[in-house]
Structure formats: C-alpha cells, structure tokens
Amino acid sequence: MDLHVTEEQRAIQKLVRDFARDVVAPAAKSIDQSDEFPRSIVKKMGDIGLLGLPIPEEWGGVGADYVSYMLAIEEISYVSAALGVILAVHTSVGTMPILAFGTEEQKRVFVPALAAGEKLGAFALTEPNAGSDAQGIRTRAERVGDAYVLNGQKVFITNGGEADVYTVFAVTDSARAAHGGVTAFLVERDTPGFRVGRKEEKMGLHGSSTAELIFEDVKLPAARRLGGEGDGFKIAMSQLDGGRIGIAAQALGIARAAFDAACAYTQSRTQFGRAISEFQAVQTMLADMAMKIEAARLLTYRAATLRAAHKPCGKEASMAKLYASDTAMSVTTDVVQLFGGYGYTKEYPVERYMRDAKVTQIYEGTNQIQRIVIAKALAKEMTE
C-alpha cells in the first residue's frame, strides 16, 4: 500500500491549511461561544471549491481524490472541528450518495449546486429508536401512484437545521425482511410537510447544526427516489464507509491541534525552575500522543487511499474511525491534564478540543459498532 502523498495532494493540503489559518482560525473561538452556524465561512469554503473537493469536474467539483479530501477535513478540523464536520457530512454522505446512486437527472439537479456550495447537504438515517440499529428505522414512505408519501421523524442530523438537500432513508415495504424494505429519497428543504424540529444543545461541536427533522405527509415524485426500492440500507452503509474516513480525518485534526498546543505549552511553562517539557513524566505523555497520532494518520491515509482507488474499504474505514477517535479523546484529555488548571478554563482552546473530540467516538457509528463491522469483515475474510 503506497502511502506517499503526491504533489497535487500536498498542494491542496497547503491551500486548505492556509485557508484554515487565515479564515477559520480567527473565528473558531467565537463560533464555539456563540453556537451559531458559521454561514459566512461555509460560503467562503464553497467559493474556493472546498465543498466539492472529491466531486468530478464534470459535475461541478474540483475533481480531487479521496486522500486530498481527507487531508482537507484534517486541516479544517485542526482549527475548527465544527467546520470539519459540516464539510465532511455535506460531502461524503450529503453529496457522494447522489453521485454514486443518482440518475442523470438527479445528478444534474443536485450535484453541481452542492459541489459549488450553493446548497448544503445532509444525511438523514438516525431516528429516536434507530441509532446503532439502523435497520430499525420507522419513517415510512408509501407509494401512491407515481409518488411517495413520507411520514416520520429523524434525530441528530448533522447540518440538519441548515441543509437544502437531505438524503432520507425510509421503509417502503415493511413486509420485506429488515433492510430489504428500506429506500433512500432526496428531499429538498422547501418540500411541503417537511420541517426542522428541535435543535440540539451539544457538549461540543458548537456551531455545527444538529437537528430533528419532521416529515408529515411529504409528497415526493418517484423521480426523487435514490436507487431502487429496497436499496436504501446498502446505499447508507456503503456511503458510511466513506463518511467514517472523514470522521477519522476530523479526529486526527483535533488530536494534532491538541498535541501541538501541548508541545508549545510544556516548553514555555516553568515549574521547579525548568520547563515542564524537561520532566520525564511529561515527555512520556507527549511520546505516547505522538505515537498514537502517527498510527491514526497511517490508518486514515490507508483507508482513504483504498477509497480513492474505488476498492472495498469498510473494514479499514472502521479501523481508522475507531482508532483516530479514541486517539483524539485520549490525546485531548491528556493535553488538558498537561495544561493543569489553565487547561480547564476557556483561556486556552484545549478544553474545546476535548469537548469536540468526544462525539467522534459516537457519530457515524459508535466505536462499539465499528468493532462489529471489523469483526464481520474478518469473519468474511476467514471463510473466503
């Protein structure tokens, strides 16, 4: 497996790093404090092509590969994990499913506008009683002539309160065994009967919108069905393979930010007459952090490289997401510890990093679910 980063990928990484430093970083603290969706920065991300990075040029995107996209999420998340997830969800599960499974007409209507950032995408799978058990969704789509009528509720939808286009999963045939009855639909924000419900107040990722969606007799033409009837569960799972690489990259960005802050702080903070970085207890903590971040990076790059080559990457994506998110949590917790009392205050950004890291272990499949995905893939490999 070649983990070499090409010149083109480096160029994109630099462009995004500069944008993150100049445009996103100065606003990161106020986004966290205000918990307001950073609409103007999202617009600027669209202006420089960030919202359509891995989308082919013929569909209005930049045509970069999945590794470049992953590097971009990492760089944005390094300064703002909230903007990192807005970008990740918009792209990997908000736009890519339409590109992968859409008809020509669906792609023409939705993809260029999403890639340009004129519209924002979201992915609506989770329900109050169907989180880890994604087959348990109850939102219904009943076929009535040449249309479908959707009724139900979704929760914890990232970009939920702000998106224009939602890929929504609903049961079309409850008589068919579990996942065979799930179908995907494209729902536009202004469709009658659709509304955004409660917006969540979260521990972290302030500024990223997490909302409930309500569907009451939402009538959709059959042309808004994504893929065939009964294909929905597999569409969701296959797109989450890519999405989880994005979350791994987000976690990697958060961990790196915390680590860099720790390196700077421990060299400048003096106790007992010397910089605390000179104490072995601190050095071993930094060494462990550096090792975990490097391992998370290798797993994430590997999964992204497989995705870029259109090869199966479910197991690798789950490994990357699981390991990178655990790394983000352990590194940010240890960095708060190294900052001592200051780390527990809002004077430094490290407490934000710790709050932001937690959700990477939870969304796009909890880390317990990632282990199930990995174990299932191993079991399959053993029988092949």
- Which position among 294, 364, 381, 384 bears the catalytic label? 364
Question: Judged by CB, which is closer to ligand CAA: 244, or 352?
Answer: 244
Q: Tell me whether residue 364 is one of the annotated catalytic residues.
A: yes
Q: For tokens 């994604």, name the residue.
A: 134
The 220-239 contact track toward ligand CAA, x by CB under 6 A, reads: -------------xx--xx-
Site for ligand CAA (CB under 6 A): which residue of 40, 129, 132, 284?
132
48 exposed, middle or buried (CB, 10 Å; 0-12, 13-18, 19+)? middle
Judged by CB under 6 A, does residue 171 bind ligand CAA?
A: no
Backbone angles phi, psi at 54, to 5 degrees: -90, 10
- Contact between 125 and ligand CAA (CB under 6 A)? yes
Contact flag: residue 364 with ligand CAA (CB under 6 A): yes
> Least CB distance from residue 184 to ligand CAA, whole Å?
13
Q: Which of 361, 318, 369 is nearest to 131 (CA)?
A: 369
Q: Facing residues of 167 across strands?
A: 123, 186
Please name which of 301, 322, 308 lies closest in space to residue 365, comparing C-alpha atoms. Answer: 322
Report the residue number, 202 or 297, with the smaller CB distance to ligand CAA: 202
- Strands (E) across 9-146 are located at 121-124, 140-144
Which of these ranges, 2-10, 253-261, 335-343, 372-380, lies near ligand CAA under the rule CB under 6 A? 372-380
Decide: helix, strand or coil at residue 12.
helix
Q: Is 371 in the site for ligand CAA (CB under 6 A)?
A: no
**Residue least distant from ligand CAA (Cβ):** 365
- Length, in residues, of the chain: 384
Instruction: Give the Cβ contact number of residue 109 at 10 Å.
Output: 17
**CA 82/CA 170 separation, integer angstroms:** 28
Among 41, 165, 240, 296, binds ligand CAA (CB under 6 A): 240
Residue 214 CB, nearest approach to ligand CAA (Å): 17
| 384 CB-contact burial (10 Å; exposed 0-12 / middle 13-18 / buried 19+) | exposed
Three-state SS at 36: coil
Q: How far apart are CA 12 and CA 332, in angstroms?
A: 27
How far is the C-alpha of 3 from the C-alpha of 252, rounded, in Å?
A: 16
Pick from 22, 142, 98, 84: which is nearest to 364 by CA?
A: 84
Candidates 42-50, 218-226, 301-309, 365-373; binding stretch for ligand CAA (CB under 6 A): 365-373
Among 158, 209, 300, 305, binds ligand CAA (CB under 6 A): 158
Q: Which is nearer to ligand CAA, 357 or 373 (CB)?
A: 373
Given the complex with ligand CAA, which of 163 and 338 has the nearer CB atom? 163
Rank residues 158 and 361 by Cβ distance to ligand CAA and give the closer one: 158
For residue 237, the minimal CB distance to ligand CAA (Å) is 3
Residues that bind ligand CAA (CB under 6 A): 89, 93, 123, 125-126, 132, 134-135, 158, 179, 233-234, 237-238, 240-241, 314, 363-365, 369, 372-373, 376
Could you list the active site residues? 364
